[in-house]
Structure 1
Amino acid sequence: MRPDKRGVLELFERPQRYVIPLYQRRYVWTEEKQWEPLWGDIRHRAEAELERRGRVKPHFLGAVVLAGVRTFGRELQAFDVIDGQQRLTTFQLFLAAFRDVAKELGIHALERELERVTVNDGSLSHDLERYKVWPTRFDQPGFRRVLDHASEEAIEQEVRAAQQDFRFVPNTLAAYTYFLGELRTWLEEDPAQRGEALFTALRRYLQVVTIELEDDDDPQVIFETLNARGEPLQPADLVRNHIFSDASRRGENVHTLFEHYWAPFDEDGSLWRTDESRGRITRPQLAWFLTAFLTVKLEEDITDAVIFDAFKRWWGSLGTDTSAEAGLKELLRYARAYQRLLQSSPDTRLGVLYRRLKVMDISTLTPLLLYLLTDAGLNEAGLNTVLNDLESYVVRRFALGLGSKNYNLLFVRLLRELRRLPEETDLRTFVLAFLSRGEGDSVRWPTDQEWRSALLTLPIYKKVRPRGVAMLLEAIDLHLTTGKQEKLLIAEPLSVEHVLPQKWSLWPAPTAPEGILDTAAWRNTLLHTLGNLTLTTQKLNTALSNGPYANKRAELAKQSRLRLNTVFQTQEHWDEAVIQKRSQALAEDLLHIWHGPVGQPEEVTVAPTFELTSDAFTTIQNLRKDLDRNSIPSFWVGTSTAGEDLILYSYDWGSRSVRYHAEVVEDEAGVELLKLSLRDTFAEYAAQKPFVRVALAQLALPVQQTFGSARTQVTPTELSVWLPDGTDVATLRRALERLVSLTLPLMERAAAQTRTRSEAGAVLDAMVDALHPDLPDGFYFMAADIGAEKKWRRLANAAWPNQLHYELGMAGDKVVLHLHDELKMGSGEKSQLASIWKPLIHATREAFPALLVTGGERASGTRWINVPLDDVRDKQTLCERIQAFIHLTQPTIDAAFESRGNSAAPSLGPES
């Protein structure tokens, strides 16, 4: 093996090809797991280059294993990719997006450089040599489109349309679209300077180890070794080994140093070995501490991927005259401060801040807090004042949804400046001024006017999630407590209660000010504002439910000890006017709790404006009404025992134990979502259970691929898709129809396998069983026909209304193949087929000249085409004839349906 270290751009600068063998898996990287973290790593290095803070350290992006391929004549040098095909494919998709954004923004010199690393030019022996990476067969169409397209906008529109219609999107196109969006957002602030910084980062600071196999290396053995199941060393393990290896070289007592300084870090069950999740990443607490510690010491944003490299730099900066023990003492001093932060009492200023940062999922303040706790020289009162300023800044931004994406750079910059302050400078004054001068949504501190206006009008429950609302209300309750009341520490999470419930059908009708036309939407917006929300225990919340206000008021006044709920002792009624008045009172409390920036502009009175929001429960009810007017063929709508869920039952399956659901659910954070699911509720002993279980298992991957941009969940008895609660009825219906059409063929097949067969239909049923494995994708024989004494078996296409279908029938002892249009007169689909039916009959006669093909339209509106199969003697011929008839007629019918309103987006690739 010949290992080498190369920058990302260096991989592609030479005219050569990386060919991914056919046996390698397809491109499967996704936004959440790979694209977003990769973009974060790339962006961090580019931002470090922009700030030019010393020498930017390289970041390792993984390894690529290559085996040389024998080439002939003028063919370019080529390599088989043994390992790392996902990484190489992603790099090319990223560079293509970078190239296209550079072109958009007019950075033409950079565009030319990027063109050079995305395609091979010059004299090529064949067209495919222009691609520096050549993926597997499945990914080639999408990959070629990205590299060769005439307009990135066309790809983006297609991806968005497919995601909106819940159709399969190839990951190659989805990745390219993701990087386009991220690069535009990041580069547009200063295209030329940022573009150069990003290009430099890709050339110098983002590196890959390439391993070229030699003739006597076995590629399969190398691949298996690289992907072995052994547990990799964690950053903390590498840090420990480095410290004590260095101590041993210095001749220090390694055993004593370990016992006095490091042993607590290695104790099973200790704080340091406890896993903690931040965002989507879960790591031991020790790793989080090392990240924060090194950020303070090196004054740069340290990510988990570079902990060990960063630690070696800090350790080396101590110098040869500093003992390992001195370095360990410093590490332990910060560790104690970190432990103080994590274990601070909830009745202290530090404890309150830490608890609130956890709710907001903000960990980027931790390095700054470590500095304030160790080296800032603040007394307790001074520390508390600065903590209050920092909390005011992040809470105001959090409640307004301004985001924390740039906090890592902002707080590292503040940390760097604080460490260089002259001794006579007041630290608190400097922090206030630093945070107050921020401009733009990424860093600004909301003023009192903006803060008050938002608290009066924002549907805060939707904006900051239940945990965030609970944090705001707990702060108000603490603020309202005076010296005359007991100060209650809330020991366990409380539940957010809507006084006017989200399901308010039992309440008086809403009344809205003049000019509000949609009173239901007005109420649905107001009920999520601050004035309608309070805190209760989960048990009391459940008991209050959707009942009338009189019952709620009595229980809240009787059971709650919170100052926040004393309003219910005197407030005799509850409506929109009361909600708005209470929002004003609570907003004033929050203005006092979390102050604004220094030097605020003078306030101007502005009338509040409300942005009306949709309600998830109303969306479900509206979907029910929509399905009542325009049902999904072969299904009927039912209701759950609670009357809130929508259930879709099949007329064909012979059982209600397998059905589709639409309902409102809460995720782990208490956020309401709309959930669509296909459920198997058969008992374990039911005859249908084995067949349905197999069908669900086979459907798991197609469902996850098709709904890739939405959250999916797969269990042995349920396939689910989760959509945001703001999803409109049309989108929800499209998602439901997509789930039905995707799963219908296999579910029909499962239902058919358990039907009792009749002697009269035995010949047709035998044909159906024989033909099933060779049906085109999306086609199925309707389960309701199996075992019946009918003279036909309907063959449906899941993408069409099932009143339009093929049929396999018997005329005496002869087999006849039909295409029937039994659609309702006046329907859109019916009219779309009117102009194509006669040409279809003509085309069928031309395709089968030896057969007596008939067709036409009856007065009832039913249309038909009959193809007698007198010459069919075996299954293979029958299958070929059916497939030929479908291939002849299906494209024309699909095109007719797609032309209706021109609403269907072009296909992006195969639907797995």
Structure 2
Amino acid sequence: MLTQVTSPQQVFFNPQRLIVPLFQRPYVWSKEQQWEPLWNDITRLVETIEAGDGQATHFLGAVVLQGQPTALGGLPQYTVIDGQQRLTTLQILLDALHGQLESRGLSGLAGQVETLVENPEAFRLGPDDRFKVWPTNRDREVFAAAMSASTPVGYTTLPPGRLAEAHEYFSTSIAEWLDENPEDTLTRAATLVPTITTRLQIVSIQLLATEDAQEIFETLNARGTPLTAADLIKNFVFQRFEGDEVETERAYQKYWSDFETPFWEAEVTAGRIRYARSALFLTQWLTARTLRDVPAREVFAQFKRYVAASENDVLTLLKELRAAADRYRLFTERAATRDGSLSRLDLFVYRMSTLDSEVAKPLLIWLGEPEQANIEPEEQTRLLAILESWFVRRALVRAQSKGNNRLLVDLLVALTKRGVDVSIGDAAEGFLAAQASGTGYWPGDAELRREIMELKAYKRLRKGRLRMVLEAIEDRYRGFQDERTFSVSPVPRGICTIEHIMPQEWRANWNASPEQANEEDRDSSIHLLGNLTLVTQSLNARLSNAAWVGDNGKRAALIRHDTLLLTRDVVHEHPYAWTESDIRDRTDDMIEAIASIWPVPDGHRGSSDAAVERAQYRTEVVDLVRAGAVTAGSTLYAKPAAHRGKTAIVNSDGTLLMDGVTYATLSGAARFLQGGGAIAGWQFWCVDPHYTRTMADVRSATAAGPSWDSL
């Protein structure tokens, strides 16, 4: 291994090819995070040199290159193990600089730069040999187009992509800087060129073909934009792929390239953390294969251990991974459809998504593996019904979810080790029914009734999961629970809004006001399950706080426009009034429906502990960011008079940035200003500079509004 401090001139001067392997991630640098800071560093370096510090330099980071065997007479080739983002950006920067110099007739300076972005024609055996750096396959078209374009570059004609955007950014920035004083253009150019080519410093690590590139790659990957688990695993797998360049390309396209499409690159939430879907899937797949709880932070290390212990070669591993990913994508996309019937698996996935639960995904992956092919479809359906009952009942009684990951892995182990005469449904039912009180228990009917009967469901349950429960009850009324359907299709999923039959603002015009002593009872009844139904958004707005009776009343509107069976009995059996006792009767009926949709084994009692710890959903700043109630990058203002003028910036992950320091919570940032002690952070910070609306106000408004459904 040869390590030395070099410059762009030393890295790029010789005729050569620096090839980024196809299994590395595509170009991800952006203007705000990398291009603009780089250009600012360059202009500051120029100013420092002009101010008299002739030895000033700026460090860019490290690159790792591994020499490759080259045929006699061919261009020397190196594989870029790490630093592809820097090398590619430098090529774009240098080419943009070359174009601007040429357009001003500065051919001498332009010639100095040209030798760093193009291999001399005499050394080229093919058209791609023109380029010193050859990026990963996803970026090659736009890179070649930008680097080959004639000056002035018509950027609207280039293929879309970040590299074209980078070229335009640097070209524009260089032009503006050179022309800041037209009389000094030549002088400024004569300083800029050597500053970029010789005073930017790069640590170049050159490896022999026999050295372990993966170890170096893992050590250095934390620099720049962080790599995901998928990036690391891709590099690890294809470094070990046994095949020539053509075979490697073919394997990449067939088994991996789909992971670099929008579906897999999208961010999804697991708990309160967002992951690239590909990284989350790989964690879940590894859990399914190893039957171990794999923390997200350890997935790459665990993956390497799994591969080392596996008897399969890399190609077999890729085939297994691809097959599981295809099944995963299929049930994910089907579960997201709004209309029509779903298979039992797809319905399970949809309902789990409303519970914000990813912990069942390893089991679904395991269930689809070839080793489980002998499980009868009926038993798979029964298994999903059992799991869904366990998940939904626990969510409705607000049982703590801590430890669910570990429990589901234990269930996987139990299912794998079940006896040959034990069905998968019996094994799952027995395992869940046997869980102890508190952690992992399966709530029985008595607890379900006790908790829901008085539960202010609209306030205590997230709107997405509450809507799912109402959808399930509606589908049961339509006959879809037992396949004796009475309707054309199930209710559309995730579309309707939740409506209070007796409105929250009932005092406005809802029948006669009850006696003063009963107003509190009425207020507490409004949010019970029995007072809730589903309507379209447009009907929700029309119903509003209308009275129950009358031509323009809520009952008449529901009769005219609503087709859901959820409200049929309400409107037809209560022509004159809808009261607190009616709400409680309907709540009782709906609890019966829930118990039927998500049953427990005969005689199952669940927890005998009436004091089971309940999950109290605590709203965090990140929830408001996700709901759109607070925008990432917005400013918060300290309300107390002693701290007026102090502000904090909301980060995308819900943390606060104040004076260059990140605070995890509102209270944490407030305590720093206050100098310690207990403090109510939600009341401390305001969202407007006039101090009229606190974060507590935003939280209250968001929790009651439709935007909360997305959480």
Please tell me the TM-score bracket, short chain as reference. 0.5 to 0.7
Equivalent residue in structure 2 for 1:368, among 356, 363, 372: 363
Equivalent residue in structure 1 for 2:410, among 413, 426, 431: 413
CA shift, 1:228, in A, is 9.4
The more displaced of 228-237 and 431-440 is 228-237
CA shift, 1:277, in A, is 2.2
CA shift, 1:453, in A, is 2.7
CA distance in 2: counterparts of 1:589 and 1:668, whole angstroms: 35
Does residue 705 (structure 1) correspond to residue 673 (structure 2)? The answer is no
Q: 1:880-891 residue pairs with structure 2 within 5 A?
A: none
CA shift, 1:230, in A, is 1.6
CA distance in 2: counterparts of 1:726 and 1:597, whole angstroms: 40
Shift of the 678–403 alpha-carbon distance from structure 1 to 2, 3 Å rule, reads same
Q: Which residue of 2 aligns with 1:128?
A: none
Equivalent residue in structure 2 for 1:588, among 583, 586, 592: 592
CA distance in 1: counterparts of 2:397 and 2:240, whole angstroms: 49
Does residue 500 (structure 1) correspond to residue 502 (structure 2)? The answer is yes
Equivalent residue in structure 1 for 2:345, among 329, 333, 350: 350
CA distance in 2: counterparts of 1:718 and 1:376, whole angstroms: 60
Identify unmatched segments of 5+ residues in structure 2.
1-218, 480-484, 617-622, 650-657, 659-665, 672-678, 701-711
CA shift, 1:255, in A, is 2.3
Q: Is the 8 A contact 1:466 1:669 kept in 2?
A: no
CA distance in 1: counterparts of 2:249 and 2:222, whole angstroms: 33
Q: What SS does structure 1 have at the residue aligned with 2:382?
A: helix
Q: Is the 8 A contact 1:244 1:254 kept in 2?
A: yes
1:657-686 CA distance string (max 9 Å, x none) = xxxxxxxxx96898999xxx9999xxxxxx
Q: What SS does structure 2 have at the residue aligned with 1:496?
A: strand
Does residue 452 (structure 1) correspond to residue 449 (structure 2)? The answer is yes
CA distance in 2: counterparts of 1:348 and 1:564, whole angstroms: 23
Q: What SS does structure 1 have at the residue aligned with 2:269?
A: strand
CA shift, 1:323, in A, is 2.0
Q: 1:461-500 residue pairs with structure 2 within 5 A?
A: 461-482=458-479, 483-500=485-502
Q: Which residue of 2 aligns with 1:870?
A: none
CA shift, 1:424, in A, is 2.3
CA shift, 1:370, in A, is 1.2
CA shift, 1:478, in A, is 0.2
Q: Which residue of 2 aligns with 1:436?
A: 433
Instruction: Find the structure with the greater CA-based Rg.
Output: 1
1:835-894 CA distance string (max 9 Å, x none) = xxxxxxxxxxxxxxxxxxxxxxxxxxxxxxxxxxxxxxxxxxxxxxxxxxxxxxxxxxxx
Shift of the 252–430 alpha-carbon distance from structure 1 to 2, 3 Å rule, reads farther
Equivalent residue in structure 1 for 2:300, among 304, 308, 311: 308
Q: Is the 8 A contact 2:635 2:648 kept in 1?
A: no
Aligned residue type for 2:694: V
Shift of the 697–541 alpha-carbon distance from structure 1 to 2, 3 Å rule, reads farther
Q: Is the 8 A contact 1:344 1:350 kept in 2?
A: no
Q: What SS does structure 2 have at the residue aligned with 1:405?
A: coil
**What is the root-mean-square deviation of aligned Cα atoms in Å?**
3.9
Q: Is the 8 A contact 2:438 2:607 kept in 1?
A: no
Q: Is the 8 A contact 1:696 1:718 kept in 2?
A: no
Equivalent residue in structure 1 for 2:275, among 283, 297, 303: 283
Aligned residue type for 1:369: L
Does residue 241 (structure 1) correspond to residue 243 (structure 2)? The answer is no
Shift of the 670–554 alpha-carbon distance from structure 1 to 2, 3 Å rule, reads farther
CA shift, 1:595, in A, is 0.3
CA shift, 1:307, in A, is 1.2
Q: What SS does structure 1 have at the residue aligned with 2:439?
A: coil
Q: Is the 8 A contact 1:678 1:719 kept in 2?
A: no
Q: What SS does structure 2 have at the residue aligned with 1:283?
A: strand
Q: Is the 8 A contact 2:380 2:424 kept in 1?
A: no
Q: Is the 8 A contact 1:497 1:534 kept in 2?
A: yes
Share of identical aligned residues, percent? 27
Aligned residue type for 2:400: G
1:476-526 CA distance string (max 9 Å, x none) = 0000014343224415422111111122212356658xxxx9633322221
1:235-258 CA distance string (max 9 Å, x none) = 111101111111149999322321
Q: Is the 8 A contact 2:443 2:606 kept in 1?
A: no
Q: Which residue of 1 aligns with 2:386?
A: 389
Q: Is the 8 A contact 1:353 1:391 kept in 2?
A: yes
Does residue 259 (structure 1) correspond to residue 247 (structure 2)? The answer is no
CA shift, 1:720, in A, is 4.6
CA shift, 1:589, in A, is 1.1
Q: What SS does structure 1 have at the residue aligned with 2:452?
A: helix
Q: Is the 8 A contact 2:259 2:278 kept in 1?
A: yes
CA distance in 2: counterparts of 1:481 and 1:668, whole angstroms: 37
Does residue 575 (structure 1) correspond to residue 565 (structure 2)? The answer is no
Q: Which residue of 2 aligns with 1:329?
A: 319
Shift of the 315–715 alpha-carbon distance from structure 1 to 2, 3 Å rule, reads farther
Aligned residue type for 1:710: W
CA shift, 1:590, in A, is 1.1
Q: What SS does structure 1 have at the residue aligned with 2:274?
A: strand
CA distance in 2: counterparts of 1:237 and 1:227, whole angstroms: 10
Does residue 556 (structure 1) correspond to residue 551 (structure 2)? The answer is no
Q: What SS does structure 2 have at the residue aligned with 1:277?
A: strand
CA shift, 1:227, in A, is 13
Q: Is the 8 A contact 1:481 1:563 kept in 2?
A: yes
Q: Which residue of 2 aligns with 1:379?
A: 376
Does residue 526 (structure 1) correspond to residue 532 (structure 2)? The answer is no
Shift of the 265–710 alpha-carbon distance from structure 1 to 2, 3 Å rule, reads same
Q: Is the 8 A contact 2:442 2:607 kept in 1?
A: no
Q: What SS does structure 2 have at the residue aligned with 1:247?
A: coil
CA shift, 1:436, in A, is 0.4
Shift of the 603–584 alpha-carbon distance from structure 1 to 2, 3 Å rule, reads farther
CA shift, 1:229, in A, is 7.3
CA distance in 2: counterparts of 1:717 and 1:228, whole angstroms: 42
CA distance in 2: counterparts of 1:717 and 1:698, whole angstroms: 13
1:637-669 CA distance string (max 9 Å, x none) = xxxxxxxxxxxxxxxxxxxxxxxxxxxxx9689
1:681-731 CA distance string (max 9 Å, x none) = xxxxxxxxxxx9x9656587598525665385646676753449999xxxx
Q: What SS does structure 2 have at the residue aligned with 1:282?
A: strand
CA shift, 1:463, in A, is 2.1
Shift of the 520–588 alpha-carbon distance from structure 1 to 2, 3 Å rule, reads same
Q: Is the 8 A contact 2:293 2:409 kept in 1?
A: yes
Aligned residue type for 1:497: E
Shift of the 261–254 alpha-carbon distance from structure 1 to 2, 3 Å rule, reads same
Shift of the 249–393 alpha-carbon distance from structure 1 to 2, 3 Å rule, reads same
Q: Is the 8 A contact 1:696 1:717 kept in 2?
A: no
Q: Which residue of 2 aligns with 1:721?
A: 694
Aligned residue type for 2:332: L
Aligned residue type for 1:395: V
Aligned residue type for 1:325: L
CA shift, 1:317, in A, is 1.2
Aligned residue type for 2:559: A
Q: Is the 8 A contact 1:337 1:373 kept in 2?
A: yes
CA shift, 1:548, in A, is 1.2
CA distance in 2: counterparts of 1:425 and 1:499, whole angstroms: 48
CA distance in 1: counterparts of 2:334 and 2:697, whole angstroms: 36
Q: Is the 8 A contact 1:498 1:533 kept in 2?
A: yes
Aligned residue type for 1:593: I
Q: Is the 8 A contact 1:510 1:576 kept in 2?
A: no
Q: Which residue of 2 aligns with 1:339?
A: 329
